[in-house]
Amino acid sequence: MNALPIARLSSFYFFYYAALGAFTPYWSLYLQSRGMGITAISVMMSLWYATRVVAPSTWATLAAASPRPIRWLRAGSVLTVLAFACFLPAQPAWAMFVVMVAFCFFYNAVMPQFEAITLGHLGDDSHRYGTIRVWGSIGFILVTASFGWLIERHGAGKLPWLMLPLFALMAASAFANRQPHLVEVRSEAASGFWPIVRQPPVLAFFAAAFLEQLSFGPYYTFFSVYMDAHGYATSTLGLLWTVGVVFEVAVFFSIAGFFRRWDASWLLLLSMASAVLRWWATALWPGDMAVMLVAQATHALSFAAFFAASMQLLARYFPGKLNGHAQGLFYGFSSGLGGVLGALIAGQLWRFGDGRVAFLAAGGFALAGTLIAWWWLVPRSDARR
């Protein structure tokens, strides 16, 4: 049995999420520096999620039909670099939208495929996923904290120049990684992809994941703008974004022990319930630094624990080579469709209460997902205890 290529796998997560650590907190500020208003920013940021609807499944299909699927990971990474480089020169607003579509499509295409590669290398040791994925969180922390300081001093207009090297390093890591030798699972579960999707627990999982990502719409699109309006400096914004990911690192390092004792559906339930409280606290007490620090700390649950539990459930529902298609559907439906609707709904609700109503609605979406997870995903024998 080949040794697990931990360093190579971790490096891709590190650079992918390092770039995301600049994009997610600060890209709306960059767009604002280019003269875009709230409505234009919400539409622009919704493209990030809109491309998730089609990019992951498209790339997964192309990779599955290829004798060397790893080539599609490398091609997507290189095209991400080339597309993002188009942000460097000055251009009219319509061209910004075109470039954004291309960049988001390729950037969103590669991670679901890489998740399948990682789980393929892990095999029966999928509980070790967190110790590899945690390096993405570390990259996110380092960039979010340092870029907040740099933007405060040099302006958000420098952001594309700061981000481009991160995408280049991500592409280099894609070429360093190798395709795992997947063993096709011979069981009834592996007999077909869509029959598995139509099973009630699997449908419930995708519905809950969709609502969870829908609830993140105001956060990913306008959180920095929201905090800026309440008087927070850009360096403080970097601190708020970083706090949650610091706790996220602790979750990824310790999650294997949880999965040895508890079913992943319990962690999914806990993570979604924490999101309800997080968004309502953000809506009601945005000016209270202590409350915001606690709310951001729950990112360890509402994102990290949710994501780790989702990977476990996807590995269970879709074994072997089916996992690549499952990753595409997961990203496309939950992060894609849920994300784009969340961003657009947030943009429409922002006019009411300067963002407060948007975050209250986000808590409502997370609550609906929590109830679905409780009723359909948690083992009923455990739930009645």
CB 283 within 8 A of CB 231: no
Q: Which helix (H) or strand (E) holds 190?
A: none
111 domain-assigned:
yes
- pLDDT value at position 2? 60
DSSP-based three-state secondary structure for 176? helix
- Rounded CA separation 60/128 (Å): 23
- Rounded CA separation 302/228 (Å): 23
- pLDDT value at position 383? 45
- Rounded CA separation 279/293 (Å): 13
pLDDT in tens, the chain (385 residues): 467 888 999 999 999 999 999 998 889 889 988 888 878 887 888 788 788 888 888 888 888 777 888 899 999 999 999 999 999 998 888 899 999 999 999 999 999 889 888 888 887 776 788 889 889 989 988 998 888 888 888 888 899 999 999 999 999 999 999 988 754 444 444 457 889 999 999 999 999 999 999 999 899 888 888 998 888 887 788 788 888 788 888 888 787 778 878 888 999 999 999 999 999 999 999 999 999 999 999 988 888 889 889 988 998 888 777 777 788 889 888 878 888 888 889 988 988 877 899 999 999 999 999 999 999 998 765 443 3
- pLDDT value at position 313? 92
2 domain-assigned:
no
61 domain-assigned:
yes
CATH number at residue 372: 1.20.1250.20
- Rounded CA separation 100/132 (Å): 29
- Rounded CA separation 203/56 (Å): 19
109 domain-assigned:
yes
For residue 61, give its domain range.
Answer: 8-177+193-383
For 28, the token pair is 């709306």
Q: What phi and psi values does residue 36 have, to the nearest 5 degrees?
A: -80, 145
DSSP-based three-state secondary structure for 212? helix
- pLDDT value at position 191? 52
- pLDDT value at position 155? 86
Q: How many domains does the chain have?
A: 1
3 domain-assigned:
no
